[in-house]
Structure 1
Amino acid sequence: MGLLGGTVRDQGPHARWDVQRTFDELGRPLRELTFCVVDLETTGGSADGGSMITEIGAVKVRGGEVLGEFQTLVNPHTAIPPFIAVLTGITNSMVVDAPPIESALPAFLEFATGCVLVAHNAPFDVGFLRHFAELQDRPWPAFEVLDTALMARRVITRDDAPNCKLSSLAKVFRSGTTPNHRALADARATVDVLHGLMERLGGLGVHTLEELQTFSSRVSPVVRRKRHLAEHLPHAPGVYLFRDDRARVLYVGTSRDLRSRVRSYFTSSETRSRMGEMVGLATEVTGIECATPLEAEVRELRLIAEHKPKYNRRSRFPEKVSFIKLTSEPWPRLSLVKRVVDDGADYLGPFRSRRTAEQCLAALHDTFPLRQCSDRLGRRSSRSPCVLAEMGRCLSPCDGSVDASTYAAVVRQLRDSLVRRPDEVVDAINRRMESLASDERFEEAGAHRDRLAAFVRAAARTQRLTALTRLPELVAARREDDGRWAVHVVRFGRLAAAGVIPSGGDAHHYVGSLRAGAETVLPSPGPVPAATAEETERILRWLESPGVRLVDVDGEWICPVGGASRHLALHDAVNQSRLTLVPFDDRRSISPVHQPAR
């Protein structure tokens, strides 16, 4: 029997319900809905972490016509970090007389009542609004929410734009407003993007709000017929490899459930155009069952690095990295190198891009006036000083302007910043940013912000990697959802063995056997692990996850208390506020989210 007692005449892809559809089933036309497009500026990326709203901007539209606009600065009752001032142009003096969020939020909610809420990267903006509504014990309206970033992912290709940032999409749809990280301007640009997306979706047969929910289910019969390629795979964690008719690896992925994940490529769950092309070429799927999800993740990275599949975008070239080296010579200097050698020097990295390494190098040179020339200098030199020395940015050992002990003291400070405490670099660049921001030289301040972020992330990464890669062996376990214990053996930062203790088995005997059969791993010099840095970072994330217990550690696994990791929260929050995009390979649905009132 079909819906409402009707019968289905055809079970194929063009099946038709032989009944009269109601208006509710036909859906609500997009052109007849009122949308409230909203954008926020904040002091950081996490409302739960204490970030505050500094500006709300919104535009109400219906049928392509602007019905009204809403804009207000918001007094956050806290200092706006220099990072944020550089990003948004909103300074402390601008918000002194602005209303607090206790007044601004009710005014916005009244403006948006009865609308479908729209935002670019909606979880960020809506998350902030809901957070402050809860703090005020204010009921959250039953908004339906659309995310233009997710909508764009369905209809925008890399031929149209390099990514789904609001600024990129505004160019694609020739928005009359250029996004500039001010709330109302960004909301106006998002309106133009929304209308442009709806026009394209209309050409694909999407005309109602309800049709947005089914848009991703449009899978060709040819693709559906390939579902049998997943039938031989187990319901277990592991790695899967799509291959073409010449057995070449097209794509490598990982899942906690191999069969379910691979089947999703042939159903409504998978609609990425790039993946659609890959699935069209695939004639075989190989599965490798793994003992634990972590083992699957590690195997995936190793297989991607080995096969370098065309349709994997990330992790294909782990060997293409850079390091910053503090040389070991009479007058040490910083240099960019492609590999680490056992030469007694200090290294920072690895960096996935040379540009990031150069930003980090610039941050260090901004703070420590070490020589930047590549000449070999003896303990005594009488050369002419370079331009940097004349500018006061180099201690100039080449002309004898500095003695060896003074230069060595600066080198010790630099080394301490790399391996223990980055405070000197952080403080120096923050002071410089504050000075530039106060002079409204935001572009220059932004360059220093990026340099500082690159350094903090690199120092934190190096310190965390080094802490694990110097350990000959670490054994850890965690109870999984099925009640059994997953055990991993890590040697010099590389996963050497993984297994699950059988129910009722002798844990000590099992762990002993696992260690005895684990891969032999030799140490690598410097911060470089015996695996790729990405593999070791995956292992670190697992080790730092809730419920992990250390079974045995050969050596000391420690990170400096005053290390760079404690500075990451602010930089990650700033980065999150800038990431108004959803990657093209994001698998989230674009379905409107119905959020009930509390």
Structure 2
Amino acid sequence: MKYAVQGTLDELGTPLDQITFVVFDLETTGVSADEHAITEIGAVKVRGGEVLGEFGTLVDPGAPIPPFISVLTGITDAMVVTAPRIGSVLPSFLEFAAGTTLVAHNAGFDLSFLKAACAAHGYPPPAHPVVDTVVLARRLLTRDEAPNCKLSTLARLFSGNEPCHRALADARATVDVLHALLERAGSFGVATLEELKGFVRAPSAEQRRKRHLADGVPSGPGVYVFEDGRGDPLYVGKSTNLRNRVRGYFTASETRPRIREMVGIAERVRTIACATPLEAEVRELRLIGSAKPRYNRRSRFPERMVWLKLTDEPFPRLSIVREVKDDGAGYLGPFGSARAADDARAALHETIPLRQCTDRITPRTGRPACALAGMGRCGAPCEGRQSVEEYAVHAAAARRAMEVDATAVFSAIEARMERLSLEQRYEEAAADRDRLASYIRTSARMQRLRALTSIPEMVAAAPVTGGGAWEIHVVRHGRLVSAGVMPGGAHPVPFVDALVATAETVVPGPGPVAAAGAEETECVLRWLESPGVRLVRVEGGWSLPIGGAGRLKARIDHAYQAREQHRPREGRPLR
């Protein structure tokens, strides 16, 4: 005789409506828990949909708050000068959160700072169960419902609280997002915390059913293409080990809703074996740009890149264009959007008094000047108040700032931004911040690209781990034209000569990116800068300008990343 056995409560799990959640958010002086500090903690304790309590306090970070962070959060040095240090705040927060499940939007970021604070003050790291609303949203929402997983995007769907990069306000918004996502998870039969964790990790039925598509996929570097029943590409990717990577799409490790949807449509996986990982990365970019698979989000439309052009005319102006021509003009780019290019143009206009009208003017134009002349921001060449020679000084300064030395623009806008921040004119300071970052980042990128694309031919090699083999690549004007792996013990000269002889012929075009897309040249640059790479042959010189934007970009990235990477994962699109 068989008897039914009733499971214990432990086996059944803890119902979600009986879980006490502490939803928390931190504001910090930067993005690295090792280098930056907490400036504010906000937390809301909830159970069964009811708020049980709130915790909120500013924190003195013990160091000046960077202006970029003040612009982002509204938290200034004056606001935290009387606030407690983290050593005084931490015990109270840990007591508030004791015995609960922690919830955060992109929990890894906030937990890294919390763990660093605990380690610095002698407390054990938090051992609480953790729910990440970013991960949960990726599992439950489609791109049609939410284009990305930013807290602001989800709050517009589910919350009446508007996140504003202040800790308690963001925690309140996250509470609403959590409740909405838990309700959505309930429709999938998720009723306990244990089921919630399993639900996030479990592969879908379509993933399990399509596992056979990974059969026969070779190991080694290469490109894989998921195709539908008609043979049209759905998604293109690359890997150093094709077999392991493709198998991963059919396991619990693949949680992106859009990619799970793609797997359900796919009927086959086509692979292209490559000699080296760099060749695979370049081939992936080229395939995405040509085939434009609908499930790829990045690199699909390289032709949409735009440039900022300093026109070649008696009184040059800055114009946004989509094509680089061999016309003697100065170019800065490429930019991912016209808005980014316009931000960079505004940065240059803030510093250099170029004309901003769009008409073509000559020394004989003779028309009334615009308001900018009265504000001292234009020399009014249209009215004859400025000669071609006098205006040429400003045009030369603009071209130098675009191509060689960004110091003048950086210093002028940084000083203005700090003044606006001190006056609490944060919106204006934020606009300057965007302009400066767009200009500096693109200028630094272009200078790095041009340094490589100006080299007619380069051969470089890197050792392969184990066996004494070498990866060898031939690059012409920034374009990868040949790749191979030289076996250990082989004579390098004939091997290199053979690679060079069979390499693709390149006829460079105009502009900084003369023979390949900017992304491809950046891939090559990253490989060239990786440890162990050796230059075998270089035709010409390889250098960056002394006053280039690269050193300024490091300062921008150190302070400004809080806006774009304050939540490093939350802005990734749902895929």
**TM > 0.5 between the two?**
yes
Post-superposition offset of 1:482: 4.2
Seen in structure 2, the aligned counterparts of structure 1 residues 479 and 102 have a Cα distance that, compared at 3 Å, is farther
CA deviation after TM superposition for structure 1 residue 204, in Å: 1.1
In the alignment, what sits opposite 1:583?
A: 572
Please state how far the C-alpha of 1:350 moved relative to its aligned partner.
0.7
Match of 1:242 in 2: 226
Q: Which amino acid is the alignment partner of residue 471 of structure 1?
A: I
Q: C-alpha separation between the residues in 1 aligned to 2:139 and 2:398?
A: 48
Counterpart-to-counterpart distance in 1, 2:156 and 2:539? 56
Q: Does 2:269 correspond to 1:281?
A: no
Instruction: Identify which of 470, 473, 477 aligns with 2:454.
Output: 470
CA contact (8 A) 2:476 2:506 kept: yes
**1:297-355 Cα shifts (integer Å, max 9, x gaps):** 11011111111112222211111111001122222211111111112221100111111
Instruction: Please name the residue that 2:309 is paired with.
Output: 325
Structure 1 residue 294: deviation in Å?
Answer: 1.4
Secondary structure of the structure 2 residue equivalent to 1:375: coil
Amino acid at match of 1:459: S
For residues 311-460 of structure 1, the aligned pairs below 5 Å read 311-379=295-363, 381-460=365-444
Q: Tell whether 2:71 aligns with 1:104.
A: no
Counterpart CA distance in 2 for 1:432 and 1:43 is: 21
Query: Where do 5+ consecutive residues of structure 1 fail to align?
Result: 1-17, 587-598
Task: Rate the CA distance shift 1:398–1:79 in 2: closer, same or farther, 3 A.
Answer: same
Which deviates more, 24-33 or 148-157? 24-33
Q: Distance in 1 between matches of 2:12 and 2:461?
A: 53
1:544 aligned partner: 529
Q: What is aligned with 2:137?
A: 152
The answer for the alignment partner of 2:110 in structure 1 is: 125
Tell whether the 8 Å contact from 2:109 to 2:567 is kept in structure 1 after alignment. Answer: no
Match of 1:90 in 2: 75
TM-score w.r.t. length of structure 1:
0.89
Inter-partner Cα distance in structure 2 for 1:57 and 1:170? 17
Give 1:368 shift.
1.1
Cα 1:145–1:277 change in 2 (3 A) is closer
Question: Which residue identity is paired with 2:14?
Answer: R
Q: State the Cα distance separating 1:23 from its structure 2 match.
A: 4.5
Q: Distance in 2 between matches of 1:520 and 1:381?
A: 47
Going from structure 1 to structure 2, the CA distance change for 1:511 and 1:25 (only over 3 Å counts) comes to: farther
Give the stretch that moved more between structures: 53-62 or 212-221: 212-221
Identity %: 59
Residues 219 and 74 of structure 1: is their aligned pair in 2 closer, same or farther, counting only changes over 3 Å? closer
| SS of the residue 2:314 aligns to | coil
Counterpart amino acid of residue 30 in structure 2:
G
Q: 1:505 to 1:106 in 2, by over 3 A?
A: farther
Do 1:44 and 1:52's aligned partners in 2 also have CA atoms closer than 8 Å?
A: yes
How big is each residue's C-alpha offset from its partner over 1:154-206, in whole Å with a ceiling of 9 and x where there is no partner?
Answer: 11222322221111111211x24211111111111111111111111121122
1:28 corresponds to: 14
In 1, distance between residues paired with 2:140 and 2:463? Answer: 42
- The gaps in structure 2 that reach 5 residues or longer are none
Query: By how many angstroms is 1:463 displaced?
Result: 0.9
Cα deviation for residue 54 of structure 1 reads: 1.3
Q: Counterpart in 2 of 1:502?
A: 487
Distance across 2 between alignment mates of 1:34 and 1:220:
29
Deviations 1:206-246 (A, max 9, x none): 22232233224655555533322221210121111122222
Structure 1 CA distance for aligned equivalents of residues 5 and 522 of structure 2: 56
2:176 aligned with 1:188, yes or no? no
Q: Note the C-alpha offset of 1:256.
A: 1.9
Assess if the C-alpha contact under 8 Å between 1:30 and 1:208 holds in 2: yes
What letter is aligned with 1:260? N
* One-letter identity of the residue aligned with 1:265: Y
In the TM superposition, 1:193-204 aligns within 5 A as: 193-204=177-188
Distance 1:578 1:139 in 2: 25
1:446 partner letter: A
- The 8 Å contact of residues 470 and 523 in structure 1, kept in 2 or not, is answered as no
Amino acid at match of 1:276: R
Deviation (angstroms), 1:530: 0.9
